[in-house]
Amino acid sequence: MELYLVPLMLFISSILMAFAWLGHIKFREKTFIQALIFSWLLVLPEYLLNVSAIRWGIGTFEPSEMAAMNLCTGVICIAFVSKIFLGEKLNPRKIVGFILMAISVVLVVL
């Protein structure tokens, strides 16, 4: 069960963190305090998912493997939020970089 649940939890955690970091940018008319509250409301469930995934994943995955999954999904989720939610253009160089990151995680985990 942990084999699938841990990576899924880390991915969902990364989506929440990407929105916590960047989501408020789309709503520039909101105050800094509103952006801060929005971000912290997303960070709490993100942190709960992240810590739970890492605790449950020990034994199935090594800590370095989970860290690699977490970092890679974090960067990829930032790219998706930037592209889909904020409309950033991802050039071919960035896309290749994200693919290389994904390949590096596969190499670390296998």
Rounded to whole angstroms, how far apart are CA atoms 56 and 12? 15
Give the predicted TM-score (pTM) of the model: 0.83
Specify the pLDDT at position 16.
Answer: 94
Domain tally, the chain? 1
3-state secondary structure of 89: coil
Q: What is the pLDDT of residues 39-63, one digit of tens each?
A: 999 899 999 999 999 999 999 999 9
The parent domain of residue 88 ranges over 2-109
Eight-class DSSP state of 30 = S
Specify the pLDDT at position 81.
Answer: 92
Q: What is the pLDDT of residues 76-99, one digit of tens each?
A: 899 889 999 999 988 999 889 888
Q: How many CB atoms lie within 10 A of CB 89?
A: 7
* CB contact at 8 A, 60 and 3: yes
Helical residues (DSSP H) of the chain, grouped into ranges: 2-22, 32-57, 63-80, 92-109
Please check the confidence at residue 1 and state whether its pLDDT lies above 80.
no
Specify the pLDDT at position 57.
Answer: 94
